[in-house]
């Protein structure tokens, strides 16, 4: 049985937390360079000029609740209130034909770089400002979707100290460059700015996988990495509650990919 409280977290609130935590400029300010690029006054927003449909989706996703108050979760989810159904439904209903889903499984692969390259080509080469890129994240890549509470408590030990924190959330110095200059070779859209948060600011969506949560926590149990002596169901709930801001939890990526393909998303491995 899944217990819940009244706690919910919207993507907009979550993004504000992420930006503050990353040392970004407060979102209540005005960014003149972004305004010059036709992006509005919100420095969290890097959507290109003319991306009205993508902006509308981002606004709806910002209002969609993310349930992060689980006490326990089962192996197989059976009810939409066990995953981020409202947000996932918004993604599946996205109307433009220019939309791509990446089957991202390897943490140390160039997955963020490839997503960035695809966005750049679609937006500026093929003139599709409303292009939506979605990361169907599972496998080891899923480790990048947990906050540093989970990294400090579990994942630094699990990775044998190879990473002490979630480095995939860091916003590089390039992220503060003038977004109006999209051809800046060391700027916001360059290979120097591969970051989950930056891609989210550009409208990319990262999907999380409940099955991966379950199997990772099973592995932690088997290795004895369980400082609070939680049950498997309790640990899976804790990991779910500490997904990074903006992520959309699915009941399972490999089962959600057919839904995305039926909705017209172009599958990329």
Tens digits of residue pLDDT in 155-187? 999 999 999 999 999 999 999 999 999 999 999
pLDDT at 43 over 60: no
**Structural domain boundaries in the chain:** 101-268
More confident residue, 42 or 101: 101
- At residue 234, the 3 state secondary structure works out as helix
Q: Which residue has the tokens 């770089």?
A: 113
Predicted pLDDT at 36: 30
pLDDT at 259 over 70: yes
Largest Cα separation within the chain, whole Å, is 54
Question: Could you tell me the pLDDT band of residue 44, with boundaries at 50, 70 and 90?
Answer: low
Question: How far is residue 5 from each of residues 1, 94, 247, measured CA to CA in Å?
Answer: 13, 30, 20
Yes or no: say if 77 and 212 are a contact pair by the CB < 8 Å rule: no
Q: What is the mean pLDDT of the chain?
A: 87
Predicted pLDDT at 29: 27
Q: What order do you get walking across the sheet with 132-137 strand by strand?
A: 248-250, 205-209, 132-137, 99-104, 266-268
Predicted pLDDT at 56: 97
pLDDT at 60 over 80: yes
Beta strands in 41-190 (DSSP E): 65-66, 99-104, 132-137
- The CATH number, out of the four listed (3.40.50.1390, 3.40.1260.10, 3.40.50.1370, 3.40.50.2300), of the domain defined by the range 101-268: 3.40.1260.10
Question: Could you tell me the pLDDT band of residue 45, with boundaries at 50, 70 and 90?
Answer: confident
**% of the chain residues with pLDDT over 90:** 83
Predicted pLDDT at 3: 39
pLDDT at 21 over 70: no
């Amino acid at each position: 049985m899944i217990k819940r409280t009244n706690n919910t977290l919207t993507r907009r609130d979550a993004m504000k937390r992420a930006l503050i935590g990353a040392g970004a400029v407060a979102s209540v300010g005005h960014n003149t360079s972004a305004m010059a690029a036709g992006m509005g006054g919100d420095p969290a927003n890097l959507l290109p000029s003319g991306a009205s449909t993508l902006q509308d989706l981002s606004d709806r996703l910002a209002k969609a609740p993310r349930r992060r108050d689980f006490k326990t979760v089962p192996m197989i989810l059976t009810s939409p209130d066990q995953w981020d159904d409202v947000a996932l439904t918004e993604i599946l209903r996205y109307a433009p034909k220019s939309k791509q889903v990446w089957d991202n499984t390897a943490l140390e692969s160039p997955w963020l770089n490839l997503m960035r390259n695809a966005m750049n080509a679609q937006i500026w080469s093929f003139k599709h400002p409303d292009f939506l890129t979605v990361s169907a994240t599972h496998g080891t890549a899923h480790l990048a979707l947990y906050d540093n509470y989970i990294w400090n408590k579990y994942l630094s030990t699990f990775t044998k100290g190879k990473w002490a924190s979630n480095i995939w959330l860091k916003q590089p110095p390039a992220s503060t460059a003038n977004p109006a200059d999209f051809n800046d070779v060391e700027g916001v859209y360059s290979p120097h700015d591969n970051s989950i948060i930056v891609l989210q600011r550009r409208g990319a969506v990262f999907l999380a996988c409940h099955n991966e949560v379950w199997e990772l926590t099973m592995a932690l149990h088997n290795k004895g990495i369980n400082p609070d002596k939680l049950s498997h169901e309790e640990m899976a709930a804790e990991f779910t509650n500490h997904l990074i801001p903006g992520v959309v939890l699915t009941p399972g990526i490999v089962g959600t990919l057919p839904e995305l393909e039926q909705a017209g998303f172009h599958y990329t491995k």
